[in-house]
Amino acid sequence: MKNIHLIFVSLLTLGLVLTCVSNNPASAFAQINQTSKAISNTGGTNQSITAKPKTNNETFSANGSISSLVFTTQNSDNTIKNGNNASGLTKAPKFVLSGDWVLTVNGGNVTEFSAKFIKVLNNGERWHTHVITNFKANNNSKAQLTSDNSASISGTVDVKLNGTTVWNAAGVNILLSKGKTITINLDNKATGNHFQGQPIYGVVESIKDASGNEMLKALQHAVQQTER
């Protein structure tokens, strides 16, 4: 079918050339040159070449769970209890953190970031809740995913304790690592040493692109294959 199409195009071109030669030889040869270039660029077909759209890595949404520990290793004067070693960490009381988080980015702008979790000592005492909300980016900085689904986002947040905002505009850095974990680093002084200067950790359960398509399907499929 392609050969018949090419023969037909060639016959039309030849007829046009013969007509033009009698009137304007120079124009005819120029037209031959243009026609041959057109056929060469399209590989002898009438298919059009379109560029692939770039991946939009500045619009995405992600969510997951908070699963973390805060070791109470500091004395009231900020010195380390029992030394900074494995034995000291084992004996230290620990706050257990459990909850969830969500992040939405549109065109590089964080339109939503919140984390809600329970914080309680491992012996069941001092149970309370926290909500991290009202994120504002530093200097209008943009957020975007790298090729391995990582991102680093800095700004300020408000932190609630049992439903009441106790710390306003506390500095924060949010780090997504390879589409698997999240690390929330709150400014220790701005939050009254409440988290002992330690990060809050969690896992990533979903990252969706601008069209709402799950971006972690390949990773999830690989994990499922290894579990079989």
Secondary element (H or E) of residue 40:
helix 25-41
As to burial, measured by CB atoms within 10 angstroms (0-12 exposed, 13-18 middle, 19+ buried), residue 130 is buried
What number of other Cβ atoms are within 10 A of residue 169's Cβ? 14
State the Cα–Cα distance between residues 109 and 42, nearest whole angstrom.
41
CA separation (Å) from 104 to 60, 82, 145?
A: 6, 42, 12
Check the CA dihedral 165-112-178-190 and report its sign.
negative
In tens digits, what is the pLDDT along the chain, a chain of 228 residues?
444 444 444 444 444 443 444 444 444 444 444 544 444 444 444 444 444 444 569 999 999 999 999 998 766 555 555 555 556 677 788 999 999 999 999 999 999 999 999 999 999 999 999 999 999 999 888 999 999 999 999 999 999 999 999 999 999 999 999 999 999 999 999 999 999 999 999 999 999 999 999 999 866 656 656 666
**Residue 143 class from Cβ within 10 Å (0-12 exposed, 13-18 middle, 19+ buried)?**
buried
Alpha carbons 26 and 165: distance in angstroms, whole number: 82
* DSSP string for 205-218: EEEE-TTS-BS-HH
How far apart CA 47 and CA 40 sit, in angstroms, is: 12
Report field, pTM of the whole predicted structure over 0.85: no
